[in-house]
Amino acid sequence: MATLSRLASIPVSEIKSLGPKRAALLAKAGIDTVADLLHHVPRTYLDRSDKPPLADVPVGTEVTIIAEVKRIASRRPKPKLVMTEALISDETASLKIVWFNQSFREKTLPPGTQAAFSGAVESFRGKLQMSNPDVEVLDGEGETLVTGRIVPIYPQVGEVKTGKFLRAMHNALKRARPISDPIPDPILAANGLMTRDQAFYAIHFPETLEESGPARQRLVYDEFLRLELSLALRKRRQIEEATGFAHTPTGELAERFIERLPYQLTGAQRRVLGEIESDLREGHPMHRLLQGEVGSGKTVVAVATLLNGVEGGWQGAIMAPTEVLADQHFSSVTGLLAQAGLSPEPFVSASELGMASLFTADGPTVHIGILTGSTASANYRPDISRKTLLDDVASGQIDILVGTHALIQEGVRFHNLGLAVVDEQHRFGVAQRVLLKEKSQSIDPDLLIMTATPIPRTLSMTLYGDLDVSIIDEMPPGRAPVQTRVLSRQEENLAWKAIQEEVAAGRQAFVVCPLVEDSPKIEAASATAEQIRLAAIMPDLRVGLIHGQLRPADKEAVMSEFRGGAIDVLVSTTVIEVGIDVPNATVMVIEDADRFGISQLHQLRGRVGRGPSQGFCLLIADPTTAESEERLAAVAATTDGFRLAQDDLRIRGQGTVFGARQSGMADLKLADVIRDFELLVAARRDAFALVDRDPELKEHPELAEEVRAMLGESVEWLFKS
């Protein structure tokens, strides 16, 4: 019995009929092993189970005839025409075949050859014949592959065509079968799945067309199960290896903070905060993903979370993907703390501050600092030097430190980091988690990852399967959805008019310039040109410029001018994409919007409509493909990020949405997270239950081996002890 992991160690070149040259072609497409080959499944099937004897061949319909070549010869009735004629026969009758300009047939079909001829039989001058049929030469057992049965049609890979695959598959299966089944019978039965051996045979060589469906289901389930097992194991490992600790928040700081906000938390914010707080009380570290639309109020939740740690004497960190965002977090968190009366008096000597003075007679205060490549500051001492700031972090004077990822990568030492908030869209990798742990000596800090990228449940189950997920699915009251319109380039004046009207009403606007892939320089140049052009079109307005080539300090200067209202219209490249918060901005114009993806457009649009006034988004585009037209229409049709994320997946497909090698998605060869969602849910449930009962898969060694063999290096660490 061959196991799948064994098959994953046999190179395809060992398959008779493939050989090294074709194996090299297949390797380019990621088909290296017999297991890979068996996962290259037919894209469709031809029903050739109807194999009539020659005597009964119906005229006019497509058929496949198995017969022997009796005679074959070519002639040249006209200078440019070669006719190759053959006579074929089976036990019942004979038939004439004609090919035009295919004289090679003479060589490939010498008399005596058994072959399958597929085409329509026609009546020509009272006699039956077949013109230009497809031919599959049969040698011995091959006959059973293309005739009298359902014939698989494979996606071509390089020069390797379906006929080659057919034979290779046949040989591979002959060598591999019987393939053992590592999944316990009760699980198969509960899910109504066929055995793996049956499934591999039936997906390639189904007896009936109906059989290929359940075969596919079984293989899809297996892919999901491997992925989910790796996630369940990872989660298990995290819990086991973690040196966690239970926070014991009294609620004094967090509650005080929430009470003093100028608004009520939404129901969703309160619910999510409850989920987080119960994680904090657990002995093992939190790994929670906080999802919420731009403007849904994640920052407030993050601050309340950090305060829960701070009041127990732990330090907290906020990590942002860019310096601009770190600056912004610092100023908004500082503002929120001041609002809640939690700010220390500035300029008090640092030695008098810190944990001990947290609960003084004047009430508790929270010390927050920022450290980035270009900034060092703190709310108790704005002019603090980098060195003093680092000292204060190390001694525990600082309660919350804001910065970029550099916080965990460079020489920053915390006194006792207990909680980290990571603000980013991308996955916070295992490597970073390890670094984070190192930052806090021996314990694992709790981790809250915030993302404004709506991830449909389908995907959080795969991509973020080892994280717990909280979703803020409610916007603060009084926010009307941003109104979105697509304008052609010819209609661009409507956009500039809208900006002028809004500015006249005291508000501000963003203009985002075209995306220039792989060239921040060109992108910056075109934004600069656009600033000049727009300043001429709207001479009464103050038009500013920000792009990725500016130094961080210059970027921050422009941002603060815009925030302060000294700039009416901010022309920018996509640097404003993430997190920028200027509630007075109500218009977002995106130029050449067809060059952006759905989620990017949605993120950009989220920059407006954050205040009480109606927001507008104008997409200037002359889409040239059906896909880009569909994307723009989707964005214009809804502001629901989850719906858009689903649309995006549908339009582009999972392979494109997630880069080729992203966490497990690349291992989904047959499975489609949308189409096969029910199987994903089943596999996830089964995988987590299995790992619950058998945390190291000791009783399921073949499954463990398979997860390792199929998911490769990315899961190797799960098995190290």
Task: Tell me which residues touch ligand ADP (CB under 6 A).
Answer: 263-266, 269, 292, 294-300, 452, 476, 581, 583, 610
Smallest separation (angstroms) from ligand ADP to the CB of 297: 3
Site membership for Mg ion, residue 603 (CB under 5 A): no
Nearer to Mg ion, 40 or 329 (CB): 329
Cβ 290 to ligand ADP, closest distance in Å? 9
CA atoms within 13 A on the CB side of 609: 27
The whole-angstrom separation of Cα 449 and Cα 317 is 12
DSSP E strand stretches across 138-210: 150-153
Q: Please say which residue, 215 or 422, places its beta carbon nearer to ligand ADP.
A: 422
| Closest among 660, 676, 677, 663 to 713, alpha carbons compared | 663
Nearer to ligand ADP, 217 or 453 (CB): 453
Burial class (CB in 10 A: 0-12, 13-18, 19+), 99: buried
Closest distance to Mg ion from the beta carbon of 433 (Å): 22
Inter-axis angle of helices 598-605 and 641-652, to 10 degrees?
160
Those residues whose C-beta lies under 8 Å from the C-beta of residue 476, and which sit 6 or more positions away, are 263, 266, 295, 296, 297
Residue 583 interacting entry, from Mg ion, ligand ADP, none, C-beta within 5 to 8 Å by type: ligand ADP
Shortest distance in whole angstroms from residue 299 CB to ligand ADP: 3
Instruction: From the list Mg ion, ligand ADP, none, pick the one residue 364 interacts with, judged by a Cβ distance below 5 to 8 Å according to partner type.
Output: none
Smallest distance from Mg ion to CB 329, Å: 8
- The whole-angstrom separation of Cα 266 and Cα 275 is 14
* Secondary structure E strands in 593-698: 616-620
Residue 287's identity, in one-letter code, is H
Q: What is the 3-state secondary structure (H, E, C) of 336-361?
A: HHHHCCCCCCCCCCHHHCCHHHCCCC
**75 Cα distance to chain centroid:** 59
The nearest distance, CB 572 to ligand ADP, in angstroms, is: 18
Q: Are the CB atoms for 715 and 709 separated by under 8 Å?
A: no
> Shortest distance, CB of residue 229 to ligand ADP, whole angstroms?
33
Residues 299-318 that bind Mg ion (CB under 5 A): 299
Cβ proximity to ligand ADP, 53 vs 335, nearer residue: 335
CA separation for the pair 166, 142 (Å, rounded) = 9
For residue 349, count CB atoms less than 10 angstroms from its CB and return exposed for 0-12, middle for 13-18, buried for 19 or more.
exposed
Out of ligand ADP, Mg ion, none, what residue 295 binds, judged by CB under 5 to 8 A for its kind, is ligand ADP
- First-last CA distance in the chain: 29
How many Cα atoms within 13 Å fall on the side-chain side of residue 41? Answer: 20
Residue 476 or 597 with smaller CB distance to ligand ADP:
476
Report the site for Mg ion in 559-588 (rule: CB under 5 A).
579
Contacts of 475 (CB under 8 A, 6+ apart): 266, 293, 295, 296
Shortest Cβ 303–ligand ADP spacing (Å): 9
Residue 581 or 592: the one with the smaller Cβ distance to ligand ADP is 581
Stretch that binds Mg ion, among 20-28, 266-274, 297-305, 699-707 (CB under 5 A): 297-305
Residue with tokens 């996962």: 39
Q: Give dist(CA 176, CA 4) in Å, integer.
A: 9
CB of 186 to Mg ion, least distance (A): 47
CB of 684 to ligand ADP, least distance (A): 28
Q: 350 vs 172, 354, 379, CA distance in Å?
A: 72, 8, 11
At its nearest, how many Å lie between ligand ADP and the CB of residue 367? 21
State in angstroms the smallest separation of the CB of 424 from Mg ion.
Answer: 11
- Closer residue to ligand ADP (CB): 244 or 583: 583
Tokens of 494: 């409507």
What number of chain residues touch Mg ion (CB under 5 A)? 2
Cβ proximity to ligand ADP: between 447 and 475 the closer is: 475
Residues 6+ positions from 405 with CB-CB distance below 8 Å: 319, 321, 432
User: How far from the centroid of its chain's Cα atoms is residue 119's Cα?
Assistant: 44
Strand partners, 423: 450
Least distance CB 675 / ligand ADP (angstroms): 31
If contact means CB under 5 to 8 A according to the sort of partner, which of ligand ADP, Mg ion, none does residue 155 touch? none
Using CB under 5 A, which of the segments 292-300, 413-421, 430-438, 637-645 binds Mg ion? 292-300
Q: What per-residue string of b and e applies to 542-552 under the rule 16 or more CB within 10 Å gives b?
A: bbbbbbebbeb
Closest to Mg ion by CB, 181 or 293: 293
Q: Which is nearer to Mg ion, 79 or 262 (CB)?
A: 262
Nearer to ligand ADP, 18 or 320 (CB): 320
Partner that binds at residue 157, options Mg ion, ligand ADP, none, CB closer than 5 to 8 Å by kind: none
Q: Which does 292 bind (CB under 5 to 8 A by kind): Mg ion, ligand ADP, none?
A: ligand ADP
Closest CA relative to residue 96, chosen from 79, 73, 113, 80: 73
Nearer to Mg ion, 316 or 579 (CB): 579
Q: Which does 124 bind (CB under 5 to 8 A by kind): Mg ion, ligand ADP, none?
A: none
Q: Which of the listed partners (ligand ADP, Mg ion, none) does 285 bind, with a CB threshold of 5 to 8 Å by partner kind? A: none
Of 424 and 568, which CB lies nearer to Mg ion in the complex structure? 424
Helix H segments across 462-551?
A: 492-504, 520-537
Residues that bind Mg ion (CB under 5 A): 299, 579
